[in-house]
Amino acid sequence: QVQLVQSGAEVRKPGASVKVSCKASGYTFTDYSIHWVRQAPGQGLEWMGWINPNSGGTNYAQKFQGRVTMTRDTSIRTTYIELSRLRSDDTAVYYCARVIIGTFAFDIWGQGTVVTVSS
């Protein structure tokens, strides 16, 4: 079936970087853009940006520009998000999500990856 499976929980110290993966299965990987969304504890959803797995093109939310990098490896159907210069307020669940072609609707979500930033 169509699914996105993310890597496991991470703990980092402030100032460090973290890289989270999102592996796709059950559909043509290069046909659908992948977006990344995070959710801090008790808070709403926050959009971070997207990557086009076909071209590798990206678009990042202004808030994260300079700190975020999204990449993909088409050979293993996996996209990645790397966030650098971590702060305590980056502690959140990070989700990848597939977007329906021609819309901005996220129809398939990964299970989420907990990233904890603590000294």
Partner 1 sequence: SYELTQPPSVSVSPGQTARITCSGDALPKQYAYWYQQKPGQAPVLLIYKDSQRPSGIPERFSGSSSGTTVTLTISGVQAEDEADYHCQSADSSTTYVLFGGGTKLTVL
56: left (phi over 0), alpha (psi -120 to 50) or beta: left
Which stretch, 9-17, 71-79, 81-89, 109-117, contacts partner 1 (CB under 8 A)?
Answer: 109-117
Return phi, psi of residue 76, to 5°.
-120, 15
Is residue 112 near partner 1 by the rule CB under 8 A? yes
Shorter beta-carbon distance to partner 1: residue 35 or 77: 35
Shorter beta-carbon distance to partner 1: residue 11 or 40: 40
Shorter beta-carbon distance to partner 1: residue 17 or 65: 65
| The binder of partner 1 chosen from 10, 12, 54, 109 (CB under 8 A) | 109
Rounded CA gap, 5 and 96, in Å? Answer: 9
